[in-house]
Amino acid sequence: MATYLIRKAVPGDCEEIVRLIKELAEYESMPDQCEMTPEKLRADAFCDQPFVHLLVAVCTVSKATVAYSSFSYMYSSWKGRTAYLDDLYVTPAHRGSGLGTSLMQSVAKCAFERGCNRMNWIVLSWNKRPAELYARIGGENLTKKENWENITLFQEQLKNFATNYKVKLSADTTVNVQL
């Protein structure tokens, strides 16, 4: 029998969380895309206005960090406050115990307590086990239901669009930007 403690991460957890992030990247066959470091994670999670919130699951016997979740808050102009679950990862030896569901429920509780109206996340189409969980808890696949697509600008494309892209305005249009 295993006993776990799910808690908010503290700065000292960042090394272990990054280790798990890299395990997740390996599991998802994308290890070359993971650029996270403990220093970067610490700076982004433990600043005045955190970009990310982190939960960890610790095995109370071994004291090992065996799972984590990362999430943030965003805003929907249609629905209002929204939580975005970026990662939820449980190490292989601890899967099938209900720990992942408990961790996801903990993120949902954080979101609910912050007044969120919904929680969004994405899942790789081949990753069937989590997809089955998401269906069981009432998650709706909006790609199938409403034809929504998830679009991303990665760093180089974001930089190019923000700094170099020439917007083609109609002849009678002027746009002034004040940020």
Of these residues, 27, 73, 89, 134, which one is catalytic?
Answer: 134
134 is catalytic: yes
The packing angle between helices 99-113 and 128-136, to 10°, is 50
Q: How far is CA 52 from CA 68, 74, 86, in A?
A: 12, 11, 9
Q: How far is CA 131 from CA 20, 32, 135, 138, 139, in A?
A: 20, 24, 6, 11, 9
Q: How far is residue 101's CA from residue 127's CA, in Å, rounded to a whole number? A: 15
The catalytic residue positions are: 134
